[in-house]
């Protein structure tokens, strides 16, 4: 018939789960950004090598493309996830 009401969660529990969600989201987006950045960096380095000729240095794909893209995507994910978590916590539940 009726469900028993769930016990109220403590503020510490809510803060911990919110922080964990934000950090996991940030990690996943940073890892995805690293993969996409590395792929694009390798393609760009190979294309540059084909056009200019000579030996190509693949470490440039990591240093100049993959790491900055990972930092950028992780930073955007951190800010976005934090904003969404704060918005969700401020919203009133109607249950």
Dihedral over alpha carbons 88, 29, 48, 60 (to 10 degrees):
120
Residue 2, in any domain of the structure: no
Which residue would you say has higher pLDDT here, 7 or 12?
A: 12
Residue 69, in any domain of the structure: yes
pLDDT band at 1 (very low <50, low <70, confident <90, very high): low
Domain that holds residue 65: 29-89
Q: Which span out of 9-18, 21-30, 82-91 was modeled with the highest average pLDDT? A: 21-30
Contact 84, 25 (CB under 8 A): no
Specify the 3-state DSSP secondary structure of 75. Answer: helix
How many domains are contained in the chain?
1
Which residue would you say has higher pLDDT here, 41 or 93?
A: 41
Q: What is the CB neighbour count within 10 angstroms for residue 37? A: 22
**Pair of tokens at residue 46:** 């190979």
What percentage of residues in the chain have a pLDDT greater than 90?
63
Which pLDDT value is given to residue 93? 55
């Amino acid at each position: 018939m009726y469900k028993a009401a769930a016990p109220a969660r403590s503020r510490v529990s809510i803060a911990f789960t919110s922080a964990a969600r934000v950090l996991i989201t940030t990690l996943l987006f940073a890892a995805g950004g690293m993969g996409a950045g590395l792929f694009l960096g390798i393609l760009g380095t190979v294309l540059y090598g084909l056009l200019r000729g000579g030996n190509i240095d693949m470490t440039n794909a990591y240093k100049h493309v993959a790491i900055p893209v990972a930092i950028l995507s992780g930073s955007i994910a951190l800010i976005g996830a934090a904003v969404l978590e704060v918005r969700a916590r401020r919203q009133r539940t109607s249950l």
